[in-house]
Structure 1
Amino acid sequence: MQVAAENRDETETSKEDITSQTLPFYKLLSQADRLDWILMVLGTLGSIVHGLAQPVGYLLLGKALDAFGNHINNTNEMVNALKKVVPYVWYMAFATFPAGILEIGCWMYASERQVTRLRLTFLKAVLSQEIGAFDTDLTSGKIISGISSHMSIIQDAIGEKLGHFLSCFATFFSGVLIAFISCWEVSLLALFVVPMILAIGATYTKKMNAISATRMSFLSEATAMVEQSISHIKTVFAFVGENSAIKSFSECLAGQLHMSKNEAFVKGFGTGMFQIVTFCSWALIVFVGAIVVVAGRAHGGDVIAAVMSILFGAISLTYAAPDMQIFNQAKAAGKEVFQVIERKPMIYTNREGKILDLVNGSIDIYDVHFAYPSRKETLILQGFSLSIAAGKVVALVGSSGCGKSTIMSLVTRFYDPIKGDILIDNHSIKDLDLKFLRRNIGLVSQEPSLFSGNIEDNIKAGNSNADDDQIQKAAQMANAHSFISQFPEQYLTEVGQRGVQLSGGQKQRIAIARAILKNPPILLLDEATSALDTESEKVVQAALETAMQGRTVILIAHRLSTIVNADTIAVVENGIVAETGTHQDLLTNNKFYHNLFELQNISQESYTRVEDPMEEVASIQTEISSQFLDQPDEPREVSKTPQTTLKKGEMKESNEGSIFLRIWFGLKKREVKDCIGSSAAAFAGISKPVFGFFIITIGVAYYRNNPKHIVGMYSIIFSSIGFLSLFAHTLQHYFFGVVGENAMTNLRRALYAAILRNELAWFEKPENSVGSITSRVINETSTVKTIISDPKSAKGFSSGSSAAYSELVALASESASNIKTIASFCQEDHVIMKAKVTFEEATGAKQETKYKIRDHSRQTEIEPDSPKQSPHKSTKGEIEFRNVHFFYPSRAEVTVLDDFSLKIEAGSKVALVGPSGAGKSSVLALLLRFMMSMKEKDNICYGNEGASEAEIIQAAMDANIHEVISNLPRGYDTSVGEKGCQLSGGQKQRIAIARVLLKKPSIMLLDEATSALDAESERAIIYALESLKLRATHVTVAHRLSTVINSDTIFVMDKGKVVEMGTHAALLAADGVYSRLSRLQTVSEN
């Protein structure tokens, strides 16, 4: 997995931009409303009063010193003088307490409100972007970072830190004023120190700004890495890619760690410079003060008040230095956030767009040229033209990657063509209101997308006003009602994030029901029945035939039997319409179509999934097109008593102990750094009371006969303390920063590795969504660094919203992944409303400070391979199941395999067939135990990173994808985009097949391996897979019987058991379940 290096190359320019530009700080407050401004005004008043307290205290100290010095021989006079001072001390104390409450409370509450609003604004901006933006700029990692870690930094900056910063400046300015009132000569000298402090602060700010921006870019890469690997966890597990994923994640963290070390050093050195300037200034000014006192131009108390007020005011600026660091980080984070918020989408809802009274549905596509934004040099469509009359059915056929699905994306206006135009009812779609356009188009894609929530909510996305009867009728038409009714919760059954609790066929039928409920005049069906078995397809196809009546329909299908009744069939080649006509016309006149039909004339492509929650574990979709078992070092045991294993992974809270101590003592080789950092911190802390002692001593010396000698000696001591403070602060911040950053990095790496050790069922739990896990690994682990190196006061004020943020991160991740579905069903407002509800429900909630470090200690139910084991020298490939009982943890009441037994000889080719729900794919999932953003080459060699260039090319040729890759401008170095978005479904499937061909496993598991391919590619791949027969044991799951007729043995499954077995001919002669399936396919073909 080469993601880190690749992303670093691709984002180098953006990093330079981030570093070179800054965001005005006031923009971070752009979400403030009237109440927020009132809170900030009150917080500012509290900060000012709080800041005034220190200089006023020095003024009172000066008065007290004068009382002692002037009346040292007269106790009564001394007491009387002190009595005049003491009440003011009480007044100051009573004013400071409520001021501190206002400062912290108002600023933190205001920041919480503003950042909540900013998160929603950010999410709205993300959802308003055109689809092309998600192919290039808006990666999932950037979105998740923007809504989580970046927002946390901004909230910190405009909350407590801003209040503290204002308090420090109030201390400085009031200190200067009081100093000039007390003794202008000393104050004037002290004032010359301020420009030096400001110069140091400006240099410090500039350096920290550059480092923080770069560090944040590395953090975004790490976030994207986690999000991508967890999204494709089945691929990672199937190809034993855990170590590769951890290695890539570690590479992402390495850059951030390096920049954080630089940041720690600059922070320490900058703070140390503040200290040395301050102490050396003290040395000079107190000596000059002695001269002023001797000359009789001021009292000793006035000098002390002036010196302490102005210099401690300057020191308060050093206390504001860490706040400035947070401000710099917030501006860097805000720059990325506001880049998204202020980005003008290329395709947007035009308020002046036309809304037609009636949509008839005629579609005219004129001379369209198009290239995807991420690959502008490669034209997908080159003068595509097609006219579709209202109410007609037009089918698009052609090889994978010829541009069929692109046409549908253009009609729904996910993209705009480079040249040409698309008209609906003689109106350019660019002139129509965007949401109006999409509300009148129903889309069912070959990659069904569902949202977390229940089945009813997902179907209702087609029509939010539909009642229960309409929802149930749509489900019946899509042949989904029967399996929905079998669930305990029926239509209220949770589907999980991205529909993980459902099989592929179930998700497809719910997506079809959603489109039927929408009842649009234009219907786009992109391989709408590709994931269905023969029986389900017949019912759904009949329903679609009914639904298509009176509508304009564009069909895409590799299976020609599903489009023979289309009014017009358009053959697409090289981005243009090569020929149009009816089925019979093209059979007679078009060689390409005729050959395609001949290739399919003995087969019916019918692809289904077992209707149990994890049927897709080992199945081939566009995410992972084939899964092969590379025999692990030691077979992992699957529990035979699932009733008890459900509790094995539970954490025992009582044995957790102190999380802080576990983190601290878990750090390796920290002793020397701890000692140095602690010693430096001790000196830096001791220097303050030592300074206080000396300043009082100097104050007393001012009242002696010859103060210059004593003050001169202490001036030398002050200068020495300043130089030592430079080293102390540098060492303190650097070593504690390094220890804290190492702790955070090690915990992130360990937590990520521990998460990858979990069994697949763990990832299906609602609390373990992709967004939640990503937030857990990236954001919550930062608490470790906070504890060790950057303690924050009043942290508990904001902890209650952590759960809400985690849910919002999960929602943002899901929205980014399903952006096309959200756009096509105009669900943007629904997503925003869901985000608002998330915050409302979390108001006032409390969350323990203990974050999800439990995941680091959780014992997985399926033990991973031991690193100490030596691999088997050879694996023959014999497979045997003995009396296996199995159900999925999320549905313990449904038995999937019941006393299942099966033996497969090494090197044989067997097939598993049977009706939906038989448990076929579950067999592969138990064996496996359970397309990423990489280059074409990296995707192919994933799981076999040591493969040579020649081996990679040969695997690509065997998978019939080499020619496609070679025609790309960057060849095998071409990025496939996040989740393979730059490739068509067939191209992704062929790359995934090349990946497993390169792996050359001893055991090969194929679950509908060619379902998304055209006939030509399918023949080439079947031939390549056949060539591996002598070297590997084949286990194939298929509904399309023509792909398994040459198997040595075919096992027919029903209700979790093997009910028939034999060769193709023998099973046909037996006239049982297999024979019935064969007849169904024959009828469908005819």
Structure 2
Amino acid sequence: MEKTSNGLHNHQVHPHFQNEDFDAIELNSPAIESPTKTSSSVKMKDIFTKSDEDKKADKEPQQLVGYLSLFRFANVMDVLYMIIGSIAALAHGAAFPLMLLVFGNITDIFTDQAAGPCNAPWNYTILTSFCPDGVVLTPENFITEYKKCNLSGFNITMPDILGTIRQQSIYLTIMGCGTIVVGYLQVAFWSVACERQTRLIRQTLLRSILTKEISYFDTHKTGQLSTRLTEDVNKLHDGIGDKVGSALQFFAGFLAGLILGNPDGIQKANLIGDIKFSNVNFVYPSRPDVPVHNGLTFTADHGHTTALVGTSGCGKSTCMQLLQRFYNPISGLVAIDGTPVDQYNLRWLRQHIGIVSQEPILFQTTIKENIRFGNMEATKEQIEQAAQMANAHDFIMQLPEKYDTLVGERGAQLSGGQKQRIAIARALVRDPRILLLDEATSALDTESERVVQDALDRASKGRTTIVIAHRLSTIINASKIIVINKGSVVEEGSHQALMDAKGVYYGLVQAQNLRNVDGKEVEEDADLTEPPPYDRTRTLSNQHQTSVDEKDGLTNDDESSEKMEYSGPAPFVAMLKMNRPELIYIIFGCISCICNGGVQPAFGVILSKIIAVFQVCDQNEQEKQVLMYILLFIGLGVLMLITNFFQSFLFAISGESLTQRLRSKIFRVLLQQDVAYFDLPENNTGALCTRLATEASAVQGATGIRIGTMLQNISNLGVGMILAFIYGWSLTLLMLAFIPFMIIAGFLQTYLMTGFANSDKKALENAGKTAVEAISNIRTVAQLTKEQYFDDEYCRLLEVPYKNSIKRAHVFGILFSFTDAIMFFAQAALFTFGAWRVEQGAMTFENIMLVMNCILFGAMAVGQTASMSPDYSKAISASKNILTLFLRQPEINNSSNEGKVLDNFDGHIKLQNIEFCYPNRPKVQVLKDFNLTIKPNKQIALVGASGCGKSTIIQLLEHFYNPKSGQILIDKNDLLTLNLQWWRSQIGFVSQEPILFDASIRENIAYGDTSRTISLGEIQEAAKNANIHQFIVSLPDQYDTNVGSKGTQLSGGEKQRIAIARALIRNPKILLLDEATSALDTESERVVQEALDQASKGRTTIVIAHRLSTIQNSDLICVLRRGKIVESGGHDELLARKEYYYRLAQAKK
């Protein structure tokens, strides 16, 4: 199968599609405008066009597109569907005028019969003499009264009205049958075409996002791009589906085409791996005034290891990104084997590069699949071999599901070290020609680092390897070490040569030396490095986390998953209660609806009176009555104008207010949930974001303007039925016989659409999870060249809602056409029966018309209400989901104001007999009879192999979870009895993976304490203490610089220092540091460590660290293994024991 250079198959796209076809498409155009004012202004043009056009698009206003452009994604089959649907729509539209034509014929029959006596040469005085007393024949009453008289002696012949009406009724029956066919074709075929196109749009949109240059994501938020696949595409779906069927009676145009470019590129038979940077200058698109590389020049020879060292932000990681062509240099040359990287086929190039980044990104699938992402052709043996090389095999085999264990959102079910080792295995399994290691061992404990480093050294043989490292001990064997400062090379050579030169590199090495320990290096203790069954680290805040496929679940141990079903009052009633603040709008809106509904039967009454006017023999009287009824029509039209305006205006206000209130409350309730709630697969971030975007607005399908329309139709039907019974009860009863069919059809629509809506919701959430995950982690996706995998997976997950949509299209088409056709059958029966009643003299034609018009308008109301059943079904389903969330009571309420506040908080902490397992893995014990006492104002360090439970202790202290048994005592008070908000305000936390929000540096630091207004001076002081102030002021916007989504505009060290400043700004009593300096270079680490040491004074501090140099001054060091403390004491004391800690120090040396 042919592939494009970015790895995407051409089989799913139309061969004539060009990128420029998307230039004019704007997702926020009126046709598909998002219902919220806060949605992003990202355009489809921004997504599909080239980077040069992106820059231009940021400066120039976008042009609105024509309606036909919405059909650019239609292929040949879609066009065929739309042609048939259009023809059927035109025929369906023609059915109503044809019905009016038959109606006119019937009117003529009755009118001609009634008007016949006016022109007849009869002497009505003579005729009256043959009638009983009290009966006086006139031209006006002759039709109804002549049968009472004995006129057999006269040659008077009346037309066969009943026979003629029967003929016209047959025509109506035929049209009804035709309406069933064309109505089905119209709705079903347009719906099918719409679903096919929408699926293709979703696939193409995700595919295009995944193949954009990385620079695009520096200026466009990934979270906003993710919503394009949900809310905006849903709006586009509404604009091209069955809702345009009626419009197609007047509009028969469409546009076909879906094209994917196929740029060419070089694909060499054999990549050697010689790398050259020649006078490279580079700035990030989002910070054009801040130079990153200034004439950077160096080479990396094939088969050798080249190490890049330097302070954070000097441009090391940027070199990696330029090699992968995430960006192009402003000037200069980046070449591999003498060929500029921009001349290579992009996908082919990235497939020959293996990378392990500073912050490991895992996807929400199994460990096996995460490793296989490195090489989709890898066998089970190759996967296990790669895991063994990365020192990950042993801990994987101890997990309940082994290699089939799901890793959670962004690998949240694993510790930092475990995630890093799986990422290393993922890089090794593809056997790349070029290996890029960006702090590949930064998250590992000392012993694991040594073993993995040996594996990486072996894996590097025969490959071109570029290493970025702050731990200089990991690069002493590199063939060449390049020292970079401010974007330029300042030193270059081997480790020994640079040490002899005693320059910048020498100073960095000296700063990292640990105190020498006498004695020989002890052999590896397998018991020390053996990880416990399970642990994992949770990211505290993640703006754009991704999801796990709901159908997979977490593991077989997932016995605690919550399955809540809403069982309260009717969702419709509950939503109306939430709309109570807009009660005055709703009341006046309801009054307008009742008036509006009552006006429509009045039209039917006047229409029947006008038809009866033509039976009047006196011409002057006719003109007088016609004028009167014309004025009544105008008056009713003005009344409808007023009532329609107030109905739409008032209910629009109430509906939008409800949507806004729901979104706000949903978000607030989500923030109140405990962390365990987000561990459940059905509550992953991707699904929750989708619900927040779509369900709040979907509720309007049962509220807002929909209430007005339904109330108007009820009024219409009610008033019509009353009038119909008054003027012709027998005829009305006949018509009511057709009502059950309408009700059954409407019920089936609602019932079936609700089922489809629920299944579609779950299936689309699954697809949304994959899309959000891929977009949020676009750099990792690009590094692994897995754009095609996520594209295929997204397409696979779209199959379920697509197939449901096709079924729904056919079912809805049948029910819709049947409901519409009933009106034809009802009129056929009405006129036939009415003609018989007129012939019997029991009714007048005027009364027949009045009953027919009242029932006709009522039937139209029923049809309009039935047409809203899909929206209503979705609204009820969304309401139930929202109300289920509102009713959930979290075990730990994050916004609770209950609990004690300690006035004299000293900082004494005691963990007593703690037993703990994560709620979603109740069978996996993490902490076992854990005991630890932390005295006030002391620093406690926790060390041990990755996954031994260190981060779990941090999370228990943060009160993210409750222990299974045991107590956490704070100044002798049980943590469960303390006020949660107060308690967390006493804690400053810096995590292993720094998370920044998409805001300015000033705002990110100020987020550390939202209880007060923080001055710029305080922010600057905290930044100085974190050694980040000088860097910030060097930026063009200084403290107002936006850091990007999750801090992507900053290096790892810069992000970490801002996170440290954020922790210090709140002046906490307790300081929790989870590898707080792991991402810093040696000099920054020293300065920040001094700041942290200073900040720790007068505070209770708990430190998790793999770098033993950062904890040797701790008051107490605890070594953890299998959820227990196996050794504790001071640095010197533990070294003297020559046990666990001693081995760690020796390995570090």
TM-score scaled by structure 1? 0.77
- CA 1:818 to 1:644, structure 2 compared with 1: closer, same or farther past 3 Å? closer
The question of 1:129 aligning with 2:212 is answered: yes
Per-residue displacement from partner, 1:610-664 (whole Å, max 9, x unpaired)? 867653237999999xxxxxxxxxxxxxxxxxx99975954254x3342222222
State the Cα distance separating 1:19 from its structure 2 match: 8.2
The question of 1:976 aligning with 2:888 is answered: no
State the Cα distance separating 1:361 from its structure 2 match: 1.1
CA contact (8 A) 1:878 1:905 kept: yes
Q: What's 2:927 paired with?
A: 897
Matches for 1:991-1070 after TM superposition, within 5 Å? 991-1070=1058-1137
1:772 alignment partner, one of 668, 687, 699: 687
Matches for 1:738-753 after TM superposition, within 5 Å? 738-753=653-668
State the Cα distance separating 1:74 from its structure 2 match: 4.2
Q: What's 1:617 paired with?
A: 538
Q: What's 2:308 paired with?
A: 396
- Between the aligned partners of 1:515 and 1:644, the Cα distance in structure 2 is 30
1:95 alignment partner, one of 156, 159, 178: 178
SS at match of 1:811: helix
- Between the aligned partners of 1:6 and 1:874, the Cα distance in structure 2 is 44
SS at match of 2:1046: helix
2:913 alignment partner, one of 879, 883, 903: 883
CA contact (8 A) 1:6 1:934 kept: no
CA contact (8 A) 2:445 2:944 kept: no
Per-residue displacement from partner, 1:316-360 (whole Å, max 9, x unpaired)? xxxxxxxx9xx9xxx9xx9xxx9xx9999xxxx742x22222221
- Between the aligned partners of 1:869 and 1:929, the Cα distance in structure 2 is 13
CA contact (8 A) 1:1068 1:1075 kept: yes
- Between the aligned partners of 2:422 and 2:184, the Cα distance in structure 1 is 54
- CA 1:135 to 1:992, structure 2 compared with 1: closer, same or farther past 3 Å? same
The question of 1:159 aligning with 2:241 is answered: yes
- Between the aligned partners of 1:18 and 1:109, the Cα distance in structure 2 is 37
State the Cα distance separating 1:925 from its structure 2 match: 0.5
- Between the aligned partners of 2:643 and 2:1105, the Cα distance in structure 1 is 70
CA RMSD of aligned residues (A): 3.3
Q: What's 1:309 paired with?
A: none
SS at match of 2:1077: coil
Q: What's 2:791 paired with?
A: 832
State the Cα distance separating 1:730 from its structure 2 match: 1.5
CA contact (8 A) 1:1047 1:1063 kept: yes
CA contact (8 A) 1:940 1:995 kept: yes
1:670 alignment partner, one of 553, 561, 582: 582
- CA 1:116 to 1:132, structure 2 compared with 1: closer, same or farther past 3 Å? same
CA contact (8 A) 1:525 1:555 kept: yes
Q: What code does the residue aligned with 1:383 have?
A: G
1:921 alignment partner, one of 944, 951, 973: 951
- Between the aligned partners of 1:366 and 1:897, the Cα distance in structure 2 is 53
CA contact (8 A) 1:497 1:769 kept: yes
Q: What's 1:290 paired with?
A: none
- CA 1:116 to 1:735, structure 2 compared with 1: closer, same or farther past 3 Å? same
2:877 alignment partner, one of 850, 856, 863: 850
Identity value in percent: 38
State the Cα distance separating 1:85 from its structure 2 match: 2.6
Q: Which runs of 5+ in 2 are unaligned?
A: 1-35, 47-54, 115-141, 145-157, 517-527, 546-555, 710-745, 806-872, 961-995
- Between the aligned partners of 2:1064 and 2:217, the Cα distance in structure 1 is 31
State the Cα distance separating 1:542 from its structure 2 match: 0.6
Q: What code does the residue aligned with 1:616 have?
A: T
Please identify, of 990-999 and 84-93, the stretch whose mean Cα deviation from structure 2 is larger: 84-93
Q: What code does the residue aligned with 1:47 have?
A: A
- CA 1:1054 to 1:80, structure 2 compared with 1: closer, same or farther past 3 Å? closer
- Between the aligned partners of 2:210 and 2:1003, the Cα distance in structure 1 is 31
- CA 1:20 to 1:559, structure 2 compared with 1: closer, same or farther past 3 Å? closer
SS at match of 1:712: helix
State the Cα distance separating 1:873 from its structure 2 match: 4.5
- CA 1:768 to 1:1069, structure 2 compared with 1: closer, same or farther past 3 Å? same
Please identify, of 946-955 and 1064-1073, the stretch whose mean Cα deviation from structure 2 is larger: 1064-1073
Q: What code does the residue aligned with 2:926 have?
A: V
- CA 1:440 to 1:622, structure 2 compared with 1: closer, same or farther past 3 Å? farther
- CA 1:916 to 1:444, structure 2 compared with 1: closer, same or farther past 3 Å? closer
- CA 1:481 to 1:510, structure 2 compared with 1: closer, same or farther past 3 Å? same
- CA 1:57 to 1:871, structure 2 compared with 1: closer, same or farther past 3 Å? farther
State the Cα distance separating 1:590 from its structure 2 match: 4.9
Matches for 1:958-977 after TM superposition, within 5 Å? 958-977=1025-1044
State the Cα distance separating 1:668 from its structure 2 match: 3.0
CA contact (8 A) 2:1119 2:1140 kept: yes
Higher Cα radius of gyration: 2
Please identify, of 384-393 and 401-410, the stretch whose mean Cα deviation from structure 2 is larger: 384-393
Q: What code does the residue aligned with 1:996 have?
A: A
1:1071 alignment partner, one of 1130, 1133, 1138: 1138
The question of 1:802 aligning with 2:761 is answered: yes
The question of 1:947 aligning with 2:981 is answered: no
Q: What's 2:999 paired with?
A: 934
State the Cα distance separating 1:929 from its structure 2 match: 2.4
Matches for 1:400-479 after TM superposition, within 5 Å? 400-479=312-391
Per-residue displacement from partner, 1:839-875 (whole Å, max 9, x unpaired)? 2345545998623322232221223343477855553
- CA 1:369 to 1:444, structure 2 compared with 1: closer, same or farther past 3 Å? same
- Between the aligned partners of 1:51 and 1:622, the Cα distance in structure 2 is 49
- Between the aligned partners of 1:1002 and 1:954, the Cα distance in structure 2 is 18
- Between the aligned partners of 2:284 and 2:240, the Cα distance in structure 1 is 40
SS at match of 1:877: coil
CA contact (8 A) 2:39 2:224 kept: no
Q: What's 1:726 paired with?
A: 641
Per-residue displacement from partner, 1:728-787 (whole Å, max 9, x unpaired)? 111111221122112222122212222222221222222222221110111122221122
Q: What's 2:625 paired with?
A: 710
Per-residue displacement from partner, 1:15-70 (whole Å, max 9, x unpaired)? 99998621222222222233322222222222222212222222222222222222
- CA 1:958 to 1:603, structure 2 compared with 1: closer, same or farther past 3 Å? farther
SS at match of 1:669: helix
The question of 1:575 aligning with 2:487 is answered: yes
CA contact (8 A) 1:877 1:1032 kept: yes
- Between the aligned partners of 2:800 and 2:97, the Cα distance in structure 1 is 45
- Between the aligned partners of 1:8 and 1:438, the Cα distance in structure 2 is 31
CA contact (8 A) 1:381 1:575 kept: yes
Q: What's 1:272 paired with?
A: none
CA contact (8 A) 1:645 1:861 kept: no
Q: What code does the residue aligned with 2:1132 have?
A: A
- Between the aligned partners of 1:16 and 1:121, the Cα distance in structure 2 is 22
TM-score scaled by structure 2? 0.73
2:106 alignment partner, one of 32, 46, 64: 64
State the Cα distance separating 1:116 from its structure 2 match: 0.6
- CA 1:145 to 1:918, structure 2 compared with 1: closer, same or farther past 3 Å? closer
The question of 1:86 aligning with 2:165 is answered: no
- CA 1:377 to 1:1000, structure 2 compared with 1: closer, same or farther past 3 Å? same
SS at match of 1:375: coil
The question of 1:690 aligning with 2:605 is answered: no
Matches for 1:260-279 after TM superposition, within 5 Å? none
SS at match of 2:589: helix
CA contact (8 A) 1:51 1:168 kept: no
State the Cα distance separating 1:385 from its structure 2 match: 0.5
Q: How many pairs align?
A: 887
SS at match of 2:286: helix
